[in-house]
């Protein structure tokens, strides 16, 4: 038994019905359906915890912790709302016929709701004429791929505090760019953090007088954070390879609105305890530095290669990043945190670690 999952199904559910058509189409990719055979308990091996679960086909007999029993049909008003959210805990359930459930991650749904509601409050359709241009830019930014469900789950905004969302929407700028435009140049000071809305670009670096291609960037990718966090010069050049649209955030706004929420520092004693509890040291310096004086058991992933480690490093592990001073490790930690890793920075780097602890 199967019920086709489309926007019409999602649009009938609460509070999902508040989303516009674009959001509903996005959400389809994050919905999981399961068929429940008649006579079985759908929550015996797959609980409701951390999920919004909807009955979209069939009937369920539910018994609650307070002793109440209810039969819920997919056609009822009750089925428009997630099961077991506001009632006493469900202690047993039985499918009265072949049925189907829809499950959505609570965290993702809540982030999407928060962003949408904050944006509707922040972006005033009746803004005075002198604010109209700002307002339009903010609307353009909010509708971009950067604020998609994927980026709210795993991207740079996944852990952004709700209090910062409105300010980010107001301060982010939109840039129309053309093929061959140089966005950042190696050796220059960092001034902006960039997000690609549409288009694609290439990252290059001069090595021994030869231009070496390091990476290709596309819609949804970000760049420019390393120089802003480490207070160093740009270590690569980014050139557009197509026309497109970029979003950018100035250095001060980036540090306040994005870096601070994502970067968490620990002192050496706290880091040691975390390592004893299973965390891993992550040395982001150059290999010669690593070989000379590393912490016992540390992995070496130089800052210049940190993006290539995304998907290779274990998401289930916690990492403590370090370098000499803490600057490079802060940049590396930010990049990894954007990608969904749990990573902290050793405050003060190796300069704050007793020599007896290094090998």
**Residue-wise burial string across 117-137, b where 16 or more C-beta atoms lie within 10 A, e elsewhere:** ebbeebbeeeeeeeeeeebeb
- Cα distances (angstroms) measured from residue 191 to each of 50, 180, 183, 248: 40, 20, 11, 10
Residue 191 neighbours by CB distance under 10 Å? 14
Instruction: Supply the Cα-derived Rg of the chain in whole angstroms.
Output: 24
Distance CA 237, CA 182 (A): 7
- Check 323, 330, 332, 333 and give the catalytic one: 323
To the query of whether residue 31 is one of the catalytic residues in this protein, the response is no
Write out the catalytic residue numbers: 323
């Amino acid at each position: 038994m199967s019920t086709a999952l489309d926007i019409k199904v999602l649009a009938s559910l609460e509070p999902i019905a508040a989303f516009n058509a674009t959001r509903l189409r996005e959400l389809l990719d994050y919905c999981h359906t399961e068929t429940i055979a008649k006579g079985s308990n759908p929550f015996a091996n797959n609980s409701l915890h951390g999920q919004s679960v909807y009955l979209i086909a069939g009937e369920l007999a539910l018994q609650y912790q307070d002793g109440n029993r209810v039969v819920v049909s997919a056609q009822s008003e009750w089925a428009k709302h997630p099961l077991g959210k506001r009632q006493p805990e469900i202690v047993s359930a039985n499918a009265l016929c072949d049925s189907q459930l829809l499950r959505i991650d609570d965290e993702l749904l809540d982030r999407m709701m928060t962003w949408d509601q904050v944006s509707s409050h922040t972006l005033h359709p009746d803004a005075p004429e002198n604010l109209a241009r700002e307002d339009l830019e903010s609307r353009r930014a909010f509708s971009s791929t950067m604020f998609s469900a994927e980026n709210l789950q795993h991207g740079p905004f996944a852990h952004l505090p709700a209090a910062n969302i409105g300010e980010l929407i107001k301060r982010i700028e939109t840039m129309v760019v053309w093929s061959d435009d140089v966005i950042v140049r190696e050796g220059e000071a960092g001034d902006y953090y960039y997000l690609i809305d549409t288009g694609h670009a290439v990252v290059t670096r001069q090595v021994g007088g030869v231009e070496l291609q390091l990476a290709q960037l596309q819609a949804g990718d970000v760049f420019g954070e390393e120089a802003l966090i480490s207070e160093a010069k740009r270590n690569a050049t980014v050139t557009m390879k197509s026309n497109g649209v970029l979003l950018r955030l100035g250095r001060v706004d980036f540090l306040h609105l994005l870096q601070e929420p994502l970067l968490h520092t620990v002192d050496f004693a706290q880091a040691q305890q975390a390592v004893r509890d299973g965390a891993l040291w992550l040395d982001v310096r150059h290999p010669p530095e690593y070989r000379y004086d590393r912490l016992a058991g540390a992995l070496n992933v130089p800052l210049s290669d940190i993006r290539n480690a995304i998907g290779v490093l274990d998401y289930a592990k916690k990492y403590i990043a370090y370098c000499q001073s803490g600057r490079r490790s802060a940049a590396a930690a930010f990049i990894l945190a954007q990608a969904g890793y749990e990573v902290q920075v050793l405050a003060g780097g190796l300069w704050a670690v007793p020599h007896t602890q290094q090998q």
